[in-house]
Structure 1
Amino acid sequence: MRILIKVPFLLLPFFFSLNISAQQFGGNPPSIKWRQVNTPAARVIFPAGMDSAGIRVADIISSMNTRIQATIGGKQRQISVLLQNQTTQSNGYVGLAPFRSEYYLTPDQNSFELGSLRWTDQLAVHEFRHVQQYNNFNVGGSRFLRYIFGEGGQAVGNELTIPNWFFEGDAVFNETYVTAQGRGRLPYFFNGYRALWAAGKNYSWMKLRNGSYKDYVPDWYPMGYMLVSYGREKYGDPFWKNVTHDAAAFDGLFYPFQKAIKQYSGVDFKQFRSDALGYYKQQFSQPAIADPVKKNQHFIGDQEYPAFVDDHTIIYNKTTYNHPAVFVIRTDNQERVISSRNFSLDNYFDYHDGKIIYSSYRPDLRWSYRDYQEITLLDVQTGDETRITKKTKYFSPALNADGKKIVAVQVAADGKNQLHILGLDGKVLHTIPNNDGLFFTYPKFYGDKIISAVRKPDGEMSIALIDPGTGNTEYLLAFSIKPIAFPSVHKDMVYFSAATGKNDALFALSLSNKKLYRLQSDSLSASIGNYQSAISSNKIAWVSFTAYGYQVHQADSSQVQWQQITGDAIPGDLPTFGITALNKGEATGLLASVTDAHPAVTKYNKAFHLINFHTLQPDFSDPNYTIALQGENVLNTLQTQLSFNYNRNEGYKEFGFSTVYGALFPYLSAGVDYIIDREAFDRNSPVYFNQLQYHAGLQVPLNFTRGRTSTGLSFGSDVVYSRNFFSAPYDNATNSRELVYLNNYVSFSSRSRVAKKNLYPQLAQTIYLNYKNAVNGINATQFLATGDFYFPGLLANHSLVISSAYQQRDKENNGGYSNDFPFVRGYQSRNLYQLSKLSASYHFPLFYPDAGLINAVYLSRIRGGVFYEYGHGNDFYTNGSPFKADFKSTGGQLFFDGQLWNQFPYSIGIRYSRLLDRDIFGGTGSNRVEIVLPISLF
């Protein structure tokens, strides 16, 4: 007797629930040879040729480690630190599951943003503090979770008990403590809170913690630093060590962190945070000019990098919460969009004589750790764009006076930093030597010479005047640790921004007599930071920060006073804002005393700890209840999984092993599954059997992102061997046959840039094709095609989504393949011979409550949607006669977006479906309600 079987297809789509990230997994080409420096605190791993960077990081970590342990705890476990030199992004992180750290080695151009210290130094002093945090937060309840679930268990325990503002605030305090700079000394770092205070924005604590879709809210970095530094200053160095130890140990089931603060400070957390923020508010107590907007005005948008066309016309970059970045031209009060901006790492651009030039971001086709900065030229009148360079790493390009040459900063993969002069065809005309080991930022032409803000390895900055022909460099300012950025040249003057005291101010330097001036006016004095100056014949423009975004200001040149500065040094010191704890202890200013310990550089074996199980991860997605042991090596080239799954619908138990190797051009995958108590039917009576599956395959993930569109294409094939094991009397050649089939698939997605409030991209497409075909002489096929197409709605953040799907299998269902068809909402599904569906849905935001409850649940947005779906199915009755049915439904849904415990995003939905046809496969009535709870702590 023949039994109809449904086979659960557990292949590559299932594998990629193993936390594989398209931005990281298998992201480096196999040609990279890895080296290492192995110390007790850290194994620093880096590409061959980056020895100096690897040794420097190891030296800093070794010097800093024991000297700052006392303020967080003495536990130590070695971490692997990977130095990534293929990417143009400036970033770093430390993570559990697995325990590792990565440094992205390209420095940022903006010295105000992260400081001017050597980038490897900044990463080491900041990120290694996170290592110490994780090592010492493995206590009590968090340690118990680690014992049960591995590193992922500790990660959950730490995130439940230690707020993200402490993780980052403590790390920023460390970078400020052990160096002569650090963000805690930079006025720029505090601009967000200064803007809120100046505008009288008294947001609730939960809004400050969770952000908003309608108002500007600073992130948790400055908040964290203010609270951490105040705690260190007020209650001493051991304060946070004691607080975090008790909190991570779950000393107090509810709000253990707040409980610990009260225990060690004597005041409750509400009072503590009020005191801390109030202290810093007093540090910036200077009067501010009232913003020329309504009192209850929400975020307007960021206006950045102004450039004059003439005295009445200005161009700038504009970004809002409703629309991605665009170039805008404004004449008097009339604004016109020139063009949307390509994907970019920052919003910098240069303008000259009808042309805008900037760097566009483009990822590599295959290797996700490799990306590029390509120079793009935009015609202001026509909106036409030209890609000047391809597969290059250029930053901050600028045009010369006749618009025929470009100067740009090149940051090579080997860490070398140079200025290149290029023609409009992208060819390098001249490479300027860099004999002093400088880092160049924001270069500009001054006749045939180059003006650039420069950073020395120790973080000191100046303005350099460079002769490209000879390489001779004249430093126009005395080097100091105060950041300098955004130089612009007008006639014989160079204008720039620099940190001075508690504010960032505009300065001007005469190139003819080398006199230095600070620019002063009522507006400049009251602005929160003064950046990105632009000069025309009779006007000056600059950017300052407000509670409504970066705003461009203009003033007549006659209204600006020029205060001459004696000498060639930027006045003032970097402030500590009264935090004397920064000047106490043996680690103060430690970075300046780090010496080369000459650690040995050895080869790093790519197979080291290749199978590295780190987390036991539960995943409960009804009807499947899974627990899996996850593994991942340090280089992120192999991910493995041992799993057990219980399926509530059939009651079967499944044991599986799967692995994916991503270091080659295609991903290679393999695995085996054994399933006990599969369920089939014989004349509606259940029959149970076991099933064995082997599977292996390959996948090619490609990234075609360019311009303003993110595009990905992935295709692959798997071969699957399946064998069923029946007991008598069903153990026969038909039921217990072997099935070998190919699973071929293509996945394509393309989407336009999205703004913060956009529910979906304005234009996007996702298409998936899947074809399964038996290859061992059995007629067993199944084809599936799905597509989703996104279009603009009636208003800015509305979206219309058209979806379609088609599936057809062999008439006899010989393959018993799983039913992956997205059935019409509300109906019970059935795997029919032929299924088709067409649907339309309309999505829109309703409210932005910005409201929270008991410091645990925060609601930032409520969004709605309506839909209509039509489906049709064809099949055959057991007597061979045709079966046809329609399935139509309509309905609506509400989704609630926010965060739990101030840092876990959630989206909870309620969906109502009205069935317009009979549900012939189960269920009663025409009204169906579903609750959607896509929440995961791992």
Structure 2
Amino acid sequence: MNRYKFTYYKFIIRYLLSIILCISSSTVFSQFFNGDPYPPSVKWRQINTENFQLIYPASFEDGAQKLANRLEIFRERVSQTLSKEPRKISIILQNQTVESNGNVQLAPRRSEFYTTPPQQGDFQEWMDNLAIHELRHVVQFDKLTGYLRAPFFEQLALAIYGVTLPSWFFEGDAVVSETALSAAGRGRLPSWEMPFRTNLLHGKTYGYQKDYLGSLKDVTPGFYELGYFLTSGLEKAYGETIVDSLMTRMAKLPVRPYNFSNSLKKFTGYNTREWHEKIRTDLTQKWQEQLAKNNPLDYPLFPTPKSGKPESWLLPRTLPDGQLLALHQSVRNVPAIVVIDSLGKQTEVVKTGRQTEPNFSYARGVLAWDEIRRDSRYGKRVYNVINLYDMRTHTYRQLSHKSRYFSPILRPNQSQVVAVAIDEAGQISLDLLDTETGALITRFPTPGNILLQTPAFDDTGDKVIATGISNQGAALIELNLSTGIYRTLLSGQAQQIERPMYANGHILFKAHYNGIDNIYSLDTAKGIIRQRTNVRYGAFNPWFDRKTGQIWFNEYQINGYRISHLKSSDLPISHFNPPLSKKNILMTSDTSEGKIWPSKPYKRLKNLINFHSLSVDNGNFDNLGNINPGIYWLSDDLLNTTQLRLGYTYDGDVHSSEYLASISYQQLFPKLSLEYRNRGQVSAARITDQGMESLIGLRWREHATTLKMDIPLVFYQLNHVFTTGISAATSYTRRYGLNEPKFQDRFIDRIQFPLHYQIYFNHNVRQSSLDLGPRWGQNFSVTYRHFPFDGRIAGKHLSLRTAFYFPGVWRNHSFLARFNYQQRSGTYAQANDIPLVSGYDQLRPVPVDNTLLFSYRFPIAYPDWALGPLAYVKRFKGGFFADFQNVRAGNAFRPRTFGLELRSDMNLLRFYLPNFDIGIKLVYANEANAARRVFATYGIGYSY
């Protein structure tokens, strides 16, 4: 449901990378799978219907019962146009997070609904919209690959699904469903289509790959938005059965090259690129006609963007001295609240962290805003906290902790703040808090548990106005703090109403009655709605300056949101006709009965084993050296508690088989993992026989069992991220089957419980979209290995690894300095556990005690080049490096290698994810008698 639903791609990446790994020999990949656990304190229950298993925390019982009564209706609706009834599926109702999201996945087959509704969305109940969208994905899965099932083929099914269908198609089809099968949906929101519409009206007719895969320098439609128009255009031109026809043909021969584009060509005569061009042309004509009909007005705009890249100044508010406050967002900078003077010069006040939606409030020299805080250990638990910043004393403090507060607003003339509160049970209220202590003063539950969004105070601080969302539409709801009574000022609007604001007997708000987002006002005495702006693309976030009588707002432009204003005395738009009330009342088709379904506890321990797939890898892409494709049987439980792997590989380098069994358990505070391997090993040794010394090859097999404990922790403060943790591991190895009897007396047949410890601490500031590294960062890791329990083996290894990030000369440049040190003895005398100088494997072997590595990276260009269907290049970047080895007193301080690198960020084969980072490094060996002075190394990485 989120704009970026990564779950579909994670297993697809495994198959693609496994193919790449079989033909590549010098590639390094990063870890990509994130199976964050749920907190162990959650007590899970389940409801089983004919077609669904709902698994949910006990605190969400009422919400689960309500959803169970509606799922059968939704299932029937979303299945009709695909002529496929989906199999029973497990749905996890996730109420431990404050984010609004959802996903469907295979391997294991399940869906996850994040139950907390958003502070900005469409005009219907969140869970209904979410259920329609995600159930459409369930039908898509079963339509295309439903015959591939657990316990062996779910991962194969997901890989075929992801490789066959472009993400714009399956997400666009789901958005079409949520729009067609409800009274709301994102397809009805002008704000949702606005970036695409603005581009086309500006003549920015980007190609298919740029519109689909995105850009680092321009605003493009996301694949959800693009997919909605491409898919809805198909249904409009060829009927609602076209999606069924496409998927039926693809399912019959899933290995057909370019399956989707080939099928699209067969039924429509267009391939994907041609269809994109046609829809783009049709939309341009439609939106040009709409623009001419609306006859928009021009409003003053500032500040003037200087970078030429997307940049926004959101939520303008006036200060007593006439300057403006705004939340500045840019691809070149992390978000920050800034002050803007009359000349457009901005001064940063405070950087902010990640938010569910942009917001902040100001009163009496104090700023308030909310931010996401992830639980330090259990990633499925996420909070939303209130932050305060005093602009007079330049001090910051976090007001609430482990809270679920949204859109906080400071109360005029009092040390209090009001925020929307949504608890784990889904109960919604406006909470009044003390800004000195954070203590709850009063709670005001909403009538009928209606969702409230983005509240605002009146001049007196006695009343609060907010948007209310239900299946009857959007409303304007007012709370009188003195009496605790809510009243509805405007109800049943088929509109995305946002950011209501008091203004001299009127309520300003954003809506889209004329098909474009504009600022409107409600006369509270007469109940009349008037249009106040008539912009080209969209107007948002109204703010009324009581001192000057001006209305400030954001106006969307081709490169982001700018600030604009008008006088409140300006006449309303004359051609706007207020809608008749009966035409604005959303009617829900809910005919479900209030049945109470039997529920029972869901026991994690009874459901830990869940084999679902045979795979060619075990999911570990930390380093190419650790990858050994084989055959693995995978088990993952539905709640990310236990991961079990059974595997077989054949190592061609040593001509030997290897058997693997591993299990990891995340429920406890430390993460525990146990692994067993039976593998062949090879080595060489010198022996003396009758006075003659010779080199012989050794072969043996061994049983190796490893136990590991990890405690990973994460903390946040504003735009700072802190990660720390500790791990410990031990193992037992039993060797047998030595091929050389002459070496038996010196052969160590067992290694008993060596210990390995690691402790690390990292602090990095949040990166902007264009940053090549954190502007500031300090990273430390200490590792120690030894043999305390085995008297026959001696050896110690201590290593220190550090990384320090600094700002570059220009914006988005990055300077990285790394110092690494190791001490080794005994068995570990030849082991290296620190980063080595560039090109080390092509240099003269020298024992490494320490390394000092410097690198400077910078962006070169943002070409957005489509190289046919093979690659789409978003960015070129360069860098310089100088690597030192064994730095100590008495040694000349000169680099052992130095050189330059050229890299590029790209998408391959038109896949939206992963984003690949491919490059070449030219290395100069700065030492005497080097075999080669200049040579090249190559690398490939990815992210998602």
Task: Give the TM-score range, shorter chain.
Answer: 0.7 to 0.9
User: Which letter maps to 1:890?
Assistant: F
TM-superposed CA distance for 1:769, in Å, is 1.6
Query: Any conservation in 1 of the 2:471–2:588 contact (CA below 8 Å)?
Result: no
SS at match of 1:503: coil
TM-superposed CA distance for 1:503, in Å, is 1.7
Query: Any conservation in 2 of the 1:437–1:457 contact (CA below 8 Å)?
Result: no
Residues 499-510 of structure 1 mapped to structure 2, 5 A cutoff: 499-510=512-523
**Partner residue in 2 for 1:730:** 743
From 436, 443, 447, the counterpart of 2:455? 443
**Partner residue in 1 for 2:439:** 427
Measure, in 2, the Cα distance between the counterparts of 1:406 and 1:891.
56
Does the C-alpha gap of structure 1 residues 301 and 571 become closer, same or farther in structure 2, counting only changes over 3 Å? farther
TM-superposed CA distance for 1:884, in Å, is 14
Query: Any conservation in 2 of the 1:499–1:574 contact (CA below 8 Å)?
Result: no
Residues 396-475 of structure 1 mapped to structure 2, 5 A cutoff: 396-425=407-436, 426-446=438-458, 447-475=460-488
User: Which letter maps to 1:704?
Assistant: F
Query: Any conservation in 2 of the 1:315–1:327 contact (CA below 8 Å)?
Result: yes
User: Which letter maps to 1:226?
Assistant: F
SS at match of 1:729: helix
Matched, 1:643 2:647: yes
**Partner residue in 1 for 2:603:** 605
User: Which letter maps to 1:901?
Assistant: L
Measure, in 2, the Cα distance between the counterparts of 1:252 and 1:649.
32
From 868, 876, 880, the counterpart of 1:862? 876
C-alpha RMSD over aligned residues: 3.2
Residues 9-20 of structure 1 mapped to structure 2, 5 A cutoff: 20=33
Residues 44-123 of structure 1 mapped to structure 2, 5 A cutoff: 44-74=54-84, 76-110=86-120, 114-123=121-130
Matched, 1:486 2:499: yes
User: Which letter maps to 2:590?
Assistant: A
TM-superposed CA distance for 1:573, in Å, is 5.9
SS at match of 1:158: helix
Query: Any conservation in 1 of the 2:554–2:561 contact (CA below 8 Å)?
Result: yes
Query: Any conservation in 1 of the 2:755–2:785 contact (CA below 8 Å)?
Result: yes
Query: Any conservation in 1 of the 2:785–2:797 contact (CA below 8 Å)?
Result: yes
SS at match of 2:717: coil
**Partner residue in 1 for 2:905:** 897
TM-superposed CA distance for 1:758, in Å, is 0.7
From 752, 773, 776, the counterpart of 1:739? 752
From 749, 768, 775, the counterpart of 1:755? 768
**Partner residue in 2 for 1:246:** 249
Query: Any conservation in 2 of the 1:342–1:360 contact (CA below 8 Å)?
Result: yes
**Partner residue in 1 for 2:10:** none
TM-superposed CA distance for 1:926, in Å, is 2.6
Residues 367-766 of structure 1 mapped to structure 2, 5 A cutoff: 367-425=378-436, 426-446=438-458, 447-511=460-524, 513-521=525-533, 524-536=534-546, 537-561=548-572, 592-619=590-617, 621=624, 624-627=627-630, 628-647=632-651, 650=654, 653-682=657-686, 684-725=695-736, 726-727=738-739, 728-732=741-745, 734-766=747-779
**Partner residue in 2 for 1:208:** 211
Measure, in 2, the Cα distance between the counterparts of 1:844 and 1:743.
37
SS at match of 1:31: coil
Residues 155-166 of structure 1 mapped to structure 2, 5 A cutoff: 155-166=158-169
User: Which letter maps to 1:306?
Assistant: P
Measure, in 2, the Cα distance between the counterparts of 1:177 and 1:62.
17
Matched, 1:845 2:853: no
SS at match of 2:80: helix
User: Which letter maps to 2:916?
Assistant: Y
Measure, in 1, the Cα distance between the counterparts of 2:513 and 2:577.
15
Measure, in 2, the Cα distance between the counterparts of 1:716 and 1:900.
36
Measure, in 2, the Cα distance between the counterparts of 1:66 and 1:281.
35
TM-superposed CA distance for 1:52, in Å, is 2.0
TM-superposed CA distance for 1:568, in Å, is 9.1
Does the C-alpha gap of structure 1 residues 91 and 826 become closer, same or farther in structure 2, counting only changes over 3 Å? same
TM-superposed CA distance for 1:175, in Å, is 0.9
Does the C-alpha gap of structure 1 residues 431 and 68 become closer, same or farther in structure 2, counting only changes over 3 Å? closer
Matched, 1:795 2:810: yes
Query: Any conservation in 2 of the 1:304–1:532 contact (CA below 8 Å)?
Result: no
Matched, 1:322 2:332: yes
Query: Any conservation in 2 of the 1:194–1:284 contact (CA below 8 Å)?
Result: yes
Unaligned 5+ segments in structure 1 are 1-15, 576-588, 875-882
TM-superposed CA distance for 1:529, in Å, is 3.8
User: Which letter maps to 1:228?
Assistant: T
Does the C-alpha gap of structure 1 residues 572 and 913 become closer, same or farther in structure 2, counting only changes over 3 Å? farther
TM-superposed CA distance for 1:899, in Å, is 0.6
Query: Any conservation in 2 of the 1:179–1:592 contact (CA below 8 Å)?
Result: no
Query: Any conservation in 1 of the 2:79–2:86 contact (CA below 8 Å)?
Result: no
SS at match of 2:449: coil
User: Which letter maps to 1:613?
Assistant: F
Query: Any conservation in 2 of the 1:501–1:574 contact (CA below 8 Å)?
Result: no
Does the C-alpha gap of structure 1 residues 176 and 567 become closer, same or farther in structure 2, counting only changes over 3 Å? closer
Measure, in 1, the Cα distance between the counterparts of 2:334 and 2:710.
33
Query: Any conservation in 1 of the 2:727–2:759 contact (CA below 8 Å)?
Result: yes
Does the C-alpha gap of structure 1 residues 566 and 201 become closer, same or farther in structure 2, counting only changes over 3 Å? closer
TM-superposed CA distance for 1:308, in Å, is 1.2
TM-superposed CA distance for 1:225, in Å, is 0.9
From 124, 131, 134, the counterpart of 1:124? 131
Residues 35-46 of structure 1 mapped to structure 2, 5 A cutoff: 35-46=45-56
Residues 229-268 of structure 1 mapped to structure 2, 5 A cutoff: 229-250=232-253, 253-268=256-271
Query: Any conservation in 2 of the 1:410–1:419 contact (CA below 8 Å)?
Result: yes
SS at match of 2:401: coil
**Partner residue in 2 for 1:878:** none
User: Which letter maps to 1:433?
Assistant: P
Matched, 1:821 2:829: no
1:850-903 deviations in Å (ceiling 9; x for gaps): 0102233100011111111111399xxxxxxxx999981111211121112331
**Partner residue in 1 for 2:12:** none
SS at match of 2:646: strand
Does the C-alpha gap of structure 1 residues 935 and 790 become closer, same or farther in structure 2, counting only changes over 3 Å? closer
User: Which letter maps to 1:464?
Assistant: I
From 348, 352, 357, the counterpart of 2:368? 357
Measure, in 2, the Cα distance between the counterparts of 1:37 and 1:147.
22
Does the C-alpha gap of structure 1 residues 888 and 654 become closer, same or farther in structure 2, counting only changes over 3 Å? farther
1:258-279 deviations in Å (ceiling 9; x for gaps): 2211211244444433333333
TM-superposed CA distance for 1:574, in Å, is 10
Measure, in 1, the Cα distance between the counterparts of 2:333 and 2:113.
31
**Partner residue in 1 for 2:797:** 782
1:910-936 deviations in Å (ceiling 9; x for gaps): 11211123689xxx3232212213369
Query: Any conservation in 2 of the 1:185–1:574 contact (CA below 8 Å)?
Result: no
TM-superposed CA distance for 1:501, in Å, is 3.8
SS at match of 2:263: helix
Measure, in 2, the Cα distance between the counterparts of 1:303 and 1:519.
23
SS at match of 2:309: coil
Measure, in 2, the Cα distance between the counterparts of 1:936 and 1:551.
31
Measure, in 1, the Cα distance between the counterparts of 2:535 and 2:30.
54
Measure, in 1, the Cα distance between the counterparts of 2:414 and 2:573.
31
1:768-813 deviations in Å (ceiling 9; x for gaps): 2211111223422211221111111011111001012222222x32
**Partner residue in 1 for 2:16:** none
**Partner residue in 2 for 1:9:** none
User: Which letter maps to 1:592?
Assistant: D
Does the C-alpha gap of structure 1 residues 244 and 567 become closer, same or farther in structure 2, counting only changes over 3 Å? closer
Measure, in 1, the Cα distance between the counterparts of 2:557 and 2:600.
51
SS at match of 1:284: helix
SS at match of 1:107: coil
Number of residue pairs aligned between Structure 1 and Structure 2:
883
How many percent identity over aligned positions? Answer: 25
Measure, in 1, the Cα distance between the counterparts of 2:879 and 2:654.
33
Does the C-alpha gap of structure 1 residues 554 and 368 become closer, same or farther in structure 2, counting only changes over 3 Å? same
Query: Any conservation in 2 of the 1:44–1:57 contact (CA below 8 Å)?
Result: no
